Chains A and B, each alone.
Chain A
Amino acid sequence: NAGVMQNPRHLVRRRGQEARLRCSPMKGHSHVYWYRQLPEEGLKFMVYLQKENIIDESGMPKERFSAEFPKEGPSILRIQQVVRGDSAAYFCASSPKTDPGQPQHFGDGTRLSIL
């Protein structure tokens, strides 16, 4: 039973390029969450999606960042025109239903490095 799959594990981009981070939730999970972890910090919420819907994007920067979770395929976190400050670990988590007691299952994260 595969867990949450994130790819790539490491991503290197130059300033101004685009970064695409992918997340496949656990089988049967329809809720996806993206978090960002800066060095020496805890995880910070970015966005919460269900299939084809953005439920809460209150943690997303207003510009350059977008997320989607299409009917088919993985969830994508897209960062346009990356800057040095975007360097971080990005984690995806999934849960099976709208039950806050159900623990979110995390992927191994994507470490994004901006040159």
Chain B
Amino acid sequence: AQTVTQSQPEMSVQEAETVTLSCTYDTSESDYYLFWYKQPPSRQMILVIRQEAYKQQNATENRFSVNFQKAAKSFSLKISDSQLGDAAMYFCAYRWFYGGSQGNLIFGKGTKLSVKP
């Protein structure tokens, strides 16, 4: 069974600094997608970034980037120049696909990020 593990329940970062959130996953599939979602106190689920497993190049979206290590099954999120609005729960998620079939999203338990002014 596929699983997603986020080993840091809480993290804190100073405004304008950089923070890295960890995520590991377990799967026997070769084709899949990985996602980071942000959930602010408003409870919306907001897609931050996604990575295709078949692409070796790490995805980036403005201040957000990932370090994808397929062999190690690791998918960490780096937030640069942290802003107060980045404070939220961050969830790592996995989704397999094969041919015309696909799986649902499997989420980790989340990391609560605090940003200090």
Contacts and interface: CB of A to CB of B under 8 A. Distances in A.
B45 A33 contact: no
A67 B44 CA distance: 22
B106 A100 contact: no
Contact of A42 (B43, B46, B97, B110): B110
Given A41-B109, A101-B52, A33 B100 contact: no
Contact of A103 (B35, B43, B102): B35
| Interface size, A (range) | 20 to 34
Contacts of B108: 42
A104 B105 contact: yes
| Interface size, B (range) | 20 to 34
Interface string A78-115: 00000000000101010000111101111011010000
Contact of B105 (A35, A109, A111): A35
Contacts of A16: none
Contacts of A52: none
A20 interface: no
A42 B104 contact: no
B38 to A, nearest CB: 11
Contact of A108 (B35, B42, B95, B97): B42
A54 to B, nearest CB: 13
A106 B44 contact: yes
Interface string A32-44: 0101000011111
Interface in B66-117: 91, 95-97, 100, 102-110
Interface of B: 4, 32-33, 35, 37, 42-47, 50, 52, 91, 95-97, 100, 102-110
Interface of A: 33, 35, 40-45, 48, 56, 59, 89, 91, 93, 98-101, 103-106, 108-109, 111
